[in-house]
Amino acid sequence: MQAPEPTTPTATPNGHLVGYARTSTTDQKAGLEAQLRDLSAVGCSKVFREELSSVAAKRPELERTLDYLREGDTLIVTKLDRLARSVADLVDITAKLRAKSVALRILAMSLDTATPTGKLMLNLLGSIAEFERELMLERQREGIAKAKAEGKYKGRAPTAQRKAAEVIRLKSEGKSGDAIAEELGIGRASVFRILRSA
C-alpha cells in the first residue's frame, strides 16, 4: 500500500504562510506565473503580486505585504532578488520582519529564518552589508583627504556666518533684513542672528 502524499500546511503553529511575487515588467508573465505556482505549492494562504521595475522608487504591494503580516507569520519568496534590491535593502526588510516577529523563507536559497541556520545566514548578509558601507565611507574619507592635499577640495558651501561682514555692511547701507537675505542668498533668521550678535 502506497503512503499518502504529505500535505503542506497553510500556516505555521502560530501564523500563516504569506507569499510575495514580483516581476520586472508586464512582459514577464511566465516568470510571475512560475513564482505564484511555487508559492502555492508550499502552502501560502495569501500571495501578494507586483509587476514593476526593480528600480522603481516605491513597491506598493511589498509595503502592503509587510503591513499585512502578523506575529508568527512567515513571508515566503521564491528568490532573493524578488524581495530585495541589495543586501542593504534585505537588511532593512528583515529588520521590519523581525520587529513584527515574522520569519522569512527564500525558497531558492533554502533559507528560513525560523531556523538557527537561517538566522545565521541572514546575520552574515547583514554583516556583509555593514562591511560594504564601512568600505564606501573609508573610500569617501580617503578621496576627501586626497582632494584637500591637492587643494581641490571645496568643502561645504559658505554658511551665513561667513557672510557676517557683508550682512553688517549692507545693514549700514540701510537695507532691510529681508533684502539682505535675498541679496546674499541666506536665511532671514541668519541675517537677524548676525545683526543681534553684532
**At 73, which CATH number?**
3.40.50.1390
Residue 41 CB contacts under 8 Å (≥ 6 apart), including other chains: 8
Question: Is 150 contained in some domain?
Answer: no
| pLDDT above 60 (res 105) | yes
CB within 8 A of 131, min separation 6: which ones? none
Q: Are residues 52 and 111 in the same domain?
A: yes
At residue 157 the predicted structure's pLDDT band, cuts being 50, 70 and 90, is low
**CA–CA dist 45, 187 (Å, integer):** 56
Q: Name the more confident of 153 and 144.
A: 144
- To the question of pTM greater than 0.75 for the whole model, the response is no
**Tally of CA atoms within 13 A in the half-sphere of 185 that contains its CB:** 4
Mean pLDDT of 163-172: 86
Average pLDDT over residues 132-136: 81
Residues 64 and 121 in one domain: yes
- 139 within a domain of the structure (yes/no): no
Domain assignment of residue 3, yes or no: no
Tell me the catalytic residues. 24
pLDDT tens digits, 47-74: 999 987 656 668 899 999 999 999 999 9
Q: What domain range includes position 166?
A: 160-197
Q: Does residue 182 sit within a domain?
A: yes
Question: What pLDDT is recorded for position 37?
Answer: 94
Cell reading at 82: 524578488
- Domain count of the chain? 2
Q: Are residues 88 and 39 in the same domain?
A: yes
